[in-house]
A and B are shown apart, each in its own frame.
Chain A
Amino acid sequence: MHNIGSYNERLNNFSWKIAEDELGYKPGDVINIGWYCSDRICNMGKGEKLALKWEGLGGKAKNYTYNDLRQLSNTIADFLQKLGIKPEERVCLFLDRIPELYIGFVGILKSGAIAQPLFSAFGEDSLHVRMENSGATAIITQKKHLGKVRKIVATLPNLKHVIIVDDNGKNPLQDKEVAFIMDEAKRVEVFESFPTKAESPSVLHYTSGTTGMPKGVKHVHYSLISQYLSSKWVLDLQDDDIYWCTADPGWVTGTSYGIIGAWACGVTQCVNDIGFSADAWYAFIQKHKITVWYSAPTAIRSLMKAGEEVIKNYDLSSLRHLASVGEPLNAEAVIWGEKVFGLPFHDSYWQTETGSIMISNYPGMKIKPGSMGKPFPGITATILDPDTYEPVPTGQAGLIGIKPGWPSMMRMYWNNQEIYDAKFKNGWYIPGDRSYIDGDGYYWFIGRDDDIINTGGHLVSPFEVESALIEHPAVAESAVVAKPDFVNMEVVKAFVCLKPGFIASPELDLEIMNFIRKRLSPLAMPQEIEFVPSLPKTRSGKIMRRILKAQEWGEEIGDTSSLEDD
């Protein structure tokens, strides 16, 4: 029996109080996500149950029970407090997918500070812009990434502490650096979690914007209500499940469902910190007898590419529920899942700002392959006319609109009220995606309403890449657009005009690629660079990315009346 039961009955009888009651929360109570993910589960008598089964490179493996999670997150929270970190100060996590990332996240929340996860593949520029904007007080990192932190530490006046979780004492620590070895630290048995309330800030995730630098999306502790209930009703997490969320906690799926949802539901979750290969992933599912698997279309399409023969080498019969998020899941991938696993992937739709799943396919509900599904109970969604922001008739394409007020909705873009306000039109939150609803109430994704590039489920801002490109000595100007890609849906393509004296060559092409990879991240690195003599611009000098994008996608170029020299 699935947790959600009948979707239609849930719609008719919905109240967020369902989650509040299950979690024992009443309006006005203290609500601390860190406590709910650890102490509460122990108080339910599950202290000896495994919370985390972790595997890393070279066959390394570690297991942590909920009691370990409780004590170790206490220890981290206590350590942060003793360093002098105050409630609501931002503490960054700049770590690979190692246990300290997951348990550290819980510890930060218990201390009352705000957790600011940062994708560990970020280059120093990406790191700097996010830490400078948030005014982070501390960063928790590992030796492997310390070089990038050291390059920017002097330019971050608010940064007081660089905490290194795997310092081996071989090299001297520098100013502001302190070692903290979680597994060797004296465990703190009792720690009074900071008494955060519903609207106390909890997590700060940065997301890319079309114009301007990344924006810090502020969430609050009350987001737990949405994250808990959607983990139960969409991911169908049940007490005896072994759950694997493949997302990196540097992004919102990795925290909302890779930490908070899983542990608030008290399930055992597995994490592997190794790179992708079909064999390694199937072996991981077989070894740990994964039952619920939440992954991404890019990974699913990579598995499809690897073929069906490899699957025959593994016993994957433990799987009982599959879900996907990050970008639209194509119909072929849903059908492939049914064919090779005997189970369809359930696509879900949401974004950093929504904090939890907004539209989804539910266990037990008919799946229309290629559709995002239907709104989560308690979520009022519609399709809006892009000019008037009024709902359009069924079947007509427009912008997705969501009625504000669900528990995990962002509360602010950090230091940016103006852009936050611009996300709301005519009483609706506008995620920036185009879609339509069919006659049965299913949503069908069409595309982004802006120039943001969705590559492998991660959003990349063309503006951020263009800004970095012009810092390369050979680049005069550039335009960055999405290019279609079978595995990643979209990849970054850059059109580059060179400065006088520079000549296009394969060597320069490679140099620019690596320049962006190191400054921003591998995701932002152009997978293709086309050297061009000029870029299409309006008469006022604005680069017309849409013309270049239309060329890449083989689409109509559309109105070019404002094009310079047309």
Chain B
Amino acid sequence: MEEIREVVLEYVKNEYMEDQDEELTYDTALISGGFVDSFSMVSLKRFLETRYKISLPDNRATPEAFDTVNKITALVQEFLG
């Protein structure tokens, strides 16, 4: 769980945060906070599927489910079983 959180946090910070001074926490609102737009969310979903060898159905990969690192981690955890 902790490892997933760290991986996701690092990936989001490196890939999507333009201002590296911006603080990113496990509960920072990524989608509703405007850090990751809905188009970019597709690449974040693809990253999770590739990295963890899971398949996230579109009806679960919603802006709400992707809104924080913690929520993403819970989603990944659920599909890892």
Instruction: Give CA–CA (A120, B43) in the complex, Å.
Output: 19
Q: Which residues of B contact A510 (CB under 8 A)?
A: 43, 46-47, 50
A171 closest partner in B (C-beta)? B21
B19 CB within 8 Å of chain A: yes
- What is the 8 Å Cβ interface bit string for chain B, positions 25-41, against chain A (1 contact, 0 not)? 00001111111111110
13 A-B residue pairs with CB within 8 Å: A144-B19, A147-B18, A274-B33, A275-B31, A275-B36, A277-B31, A277-B67, A302-B38, A455-B39, A510-B47, A517-B43, A522-B37, A523-B39
A145: interface (CB < 8 Å): yes
Q: Does B64 touch A at the CB level, under 8 Å?
A: yes
Q: For chain A, residues 265 to 318, give those with C-beta under 8 angstroms from any C-beta of chain B.
A: 273-277, 279-280, 302
Q: A513 to chain B: which residues have CB within 8 Å?
A: 42-43, 46
Q: Is A276's CB under 8 angstroms from B38's CB?
A: yes
In chain A, positions 90-147 with a C-beta closer than 8 Å to chain B are 96, 121, 143-145, 147
Contact in complex: B29, A275 (CB < 8 Å): yes
* Among A143, A274, A517, contact of B19 (Cβ-Cβ < 8 Å): A143
Q: Is the CB of B50 within 8 A of A506?
A: yes
**In the complex, how many angstroms separate the beta carbon of A232 from the nearest chain B beta carbon?**
31
Chain A positions within 8 Å of B18 at CB level: 144-145, 147-148
Task: Provide the bound-state CA to CA distance between A57 and B28, in Å.
Answer: 11
B3 to chain A, nearest CB (A): 19
User: What's the A-B contact tally at a CB cutoff of 8 Å?
Assistant: 71
Residues of A within 8 A of B33 (CB): 57, 274-275
Question: How far, in whole Å, are A279 and B32 apart by their CA atoms in the complex?
Answer: 9
Name the distance in Å between A489's Cβ and chain B's nearest Cβ: 13
Identity of the chain A residue whose Cβ is nearest the Cβ of B41 in the assembled complex? A522
Main SS of chain B's interface residues?
A: loop
Give the B-binding residues of A (Cβ under 8 A): 57, 96, 121, 143-145, 147-148, 273-277, 279-280, 302, 455-456, 487, 491, 506-507, 509-510, 513-514, 517, 522-523, 525, 527
Q: Which residues of B contact A273 (CB under 8 A)?
A: 34
Q: Which residues of B contact A456 (CB under 8 A)?
A: 38-39
Minimum CB distance partner of B64 in chain A: A277
B1 shortest CB reach to chain A, Å = 23
CB distance from A497 to the nearest CB of B (A): 20
B6 at the binding interface (Cβ < 8 Å): no
Indicate if B15 sits at the interface (CB-CB under 8 A): yes
A527 proximity list for chain B (CB < 8 A): 39, 42
By the criterion CB–CB under 8 Å, are A506 and B46 in contact? yes
- Assembled-state Cα–Cα distance A456/B67 (Å): 20
- When C-beta atoms are compared, the residue in chain A nearest to B15 turns out to be A514
Choice from B31, B47, B49 contacting A276 with Cβ under 8 Å: B31
Contact status of A276 and B32, CB under 8 A, knowing A145-B18, A506-B49, A506-B50? yes
